[in-house]
Structure 1
């Protein structure tokens, strides 16, 4: 989930600072091209991440997500032209979340206001302290008869240098623009033009930048979002993710059929740790993989309080890179959480790639791309890159749920 960071805003009065945060949190838009059910699924993930932030003590992050959730489902989603197609049980579940969140958000609001008051009082005390120091320095210099360092004003009175304020406009708040778009279940990719080697065996170091675009694969994903990220938190990937997934996909791989899975876990000490891998029911071909019964995934995550950290899929006969449709598949993951990764396993070439969309170019480009079906994307500047915020852990535990056998 995108992490919200505010620059130092202690010089803004508490009520105004809170107002700025609320105004930002209310900027949620609904795209009529996106099925409303996707927004409801995205909402589950938003609440899950907000709860994680709350438990970690990141109150601003939690508050922003709670407000976006409330804005989306109390107001914006009702204007969707297909709102009436959302199943009654899905709406009922959403209403339960709203009733749970409303008092929590109000409590957070008061906590933040108290925090902002403390920040503002600390700022005023610091300003006074600096002013007092300057006054004392002026008096000491006057006593010594050294007035050469003091600057006379137009009125013949020695003036004190002004104290620069800390930047405090809303432009100094570093936020992504919106979290109204949807994390979608992976739909891996189709055969590309002649391959170029990408990635190294379960490592992210020294991997050449991918230059291929497997542009011939359909997609039903339509997203509209902008995002710019500064610093990505570390993602811990157990080495078992790759070894177990490829073993589970082996039967499909021998038949030249793609396999996909969802990577979930927890946020702990500002690191995202993959603890569970879910392989959903799916239908695969040589160039696609369609997940089924997605509700099973969401139910399992709810039961175990797991956040979505990324996805994984195979390229049975091709190298490890992101095709054009892989880019569209991954985009909603990264919009919701900038650290979200896409892992591509290439058994034939014995390589694994760990990728993200380039934050400054690839992410907004794909988010605003409306094309579907087989379509090419430009490759310069690159739309995706190696995920260098990944760390492979040899002994990290991993739980695997294979819903195909359920």
Structure 2
């Protein structure tokens, strides 16, 4: 499947989150700087960027409905950066159809005020979070001061008790010495035993210290301490209908028996911060034993536009091999994952009854493949691994999948 490489080279993680709960304006600037980090590849036709822009806005609008303001703002700013600052410098900019440019300009007129309003909302949100964080710090400092005070009182009490014990021990020793001493009376010559021990208590503990230390030591709930660093590699779940793979293999059966690969596009929606695959789109294609080339991709784009769907990955068969990602597969998937970090690649190997759910390793493989300029089948290093199992994939036996076959019969 000879898809284009990355349209937009985005960072492999989210460094703006490392700012944590800091000054609201600095936090917003970090977010804006990250969103503006867009580089255009002059080897990729500008029409690809215009197509990616359509999906970026669709995804941003979904994020707004899901109240994910940060991610929506990032997508809006990326869109503005590409189509206001960058795209005109593309050497093939004049080849873009006029209708695409006009539609893009109409979208820009809507996006610019949306981004500005989002900026205000995020600043208010950051300010509220910062104020709460400062209040939490003050509360923790207050609790810590009280804890130190109680510890000091405890030390004073222990020191007082130690002195009391020493005084009592000395008194006991003195009493024993007096009881064994003999005194002879000159009147009767009898021996009398006298005691120097007073019936009065020797030492009285301080009632003030006892009263002060009788209070319970306050407890500190460590779980309320805010985390300043977020896990920047956290991926949202991709929910897949369990029957998707079975339906796809049934559709690909003829090609599989003829030793030809079959491929499809996974499309769906964002629902409650989860990416749900709802459609399997089968484009016009030509298959061989180890590759699959798509044609008339405009049919896919039109269908997605009509049904408000976003691309969540792709699926293809290995008729005679096991489930893995070849060098061509890695480059194909790179374009998907750079556009959406959660995008997955599914490989079905019916001969070996295997199904693999894969993703490029965010910490290494994604950048390596994005910067690889080789084409066709070519060797890649195996260590560190370039791809891994997509652990954020979740199968749902109750979910429904709609299969749309766009191949011309």
Scaled to the shorter chain, the TM-score interval is 0.7 to 0.9
The answer as to whether partners of 1:9 and 1:166 remain within 8 angstroms in 2 is no
Instruction: Provide the alpha-carbon RMSD of the alignment.
Output: 2.9
Q: What does residue 208 of structure 1 align with?
A: none
Match of 1:89 among 99, 104, 111: 99
Aligned to 2:128: 118
Q: Quote the offset at 1:365 in angstroms.
A: 1.2
Q: Structure 1 residues 265 and 103 mapped into 2: Cα distance closer, same or farther (>3 Å)?
A: same
Q: 1:31 to 1:173 in 2, by over 3 A?
A: farther
1:141 and 1:147 in contact (8 A); partners too: no
CA distance in 1, matches of 2:237, 2:130: 32
Q: Unmatched 5+ residue regions in structure 2?
A: 1-9, 159-224
TM-score by length of 2: 0.73
Greater shift after overlay, 133-142 or 52-61?
A: 133-142
Residue 54 of structure 1 corresponds to which residue in structure 2? Answer: 64
Distance in 2, matches of 1:16 and 1:242, equals 46
Question: In 2 relative to 1, CA 35–166 (structure 1 residues): closer, same or farther, beyond 3 Å?
Answer: same
Closer, same or farther: CA 66–131 of 1 in aligned 2, 3 Å = same
Name stretches of at least 5 consecutive residues in structure 1 with no aligned partner: 149-164, 176-229
Question: What do residues 38-72 of structure 1 show as CA deviations (whole Å, max 9, x unaligned)?
Answer: 22222222212211211111111110111011001
Q: What is the alpha-carbon distance in structure 2 between the residues aligned to residue 366 and residue 131 of structure 1?
A: 49
Q: 1:103 maps to which residue?
A: 113
Picking from 258, 272, 291, the partner of 2:275 is 272
Which residue number corresponds to residue 390 of structure 1? 393
Partner residue, 1:313? 316
Which of these residues, 320, 329, 333, is aligned with residue 330 of structure 1? Answer: 333
CA distance in 1, matches of 2:88, 2:141: 54
In structure 1, what is the equivalent of residue 44 of structure 2? Answer: 34
**Structure 2 residue aligned with 1:294:** 297
1:132–1:367 Cα change, 3 Å: same
**Are residue 17 (structure 1) and residue 27 (structure 2) matched?**
yes
Question: Which residue of 271, 285, 288 maps to 2:288?
Answer: 285
Residues 241 and 398, structure 1, Cα contact 8 Å, conserved in 2: yes
Q: May I ask how many residue pairs the two structures share in their alignment? A: 332
Larger gyration radius, structure 1 or structure 2: 2
Deviates more, 1:323-332 or 1:379-388: 379-388
SS in 2 for 1:356: strand
Deviation of residue 313 (structure 1)?
Answer: 0.9
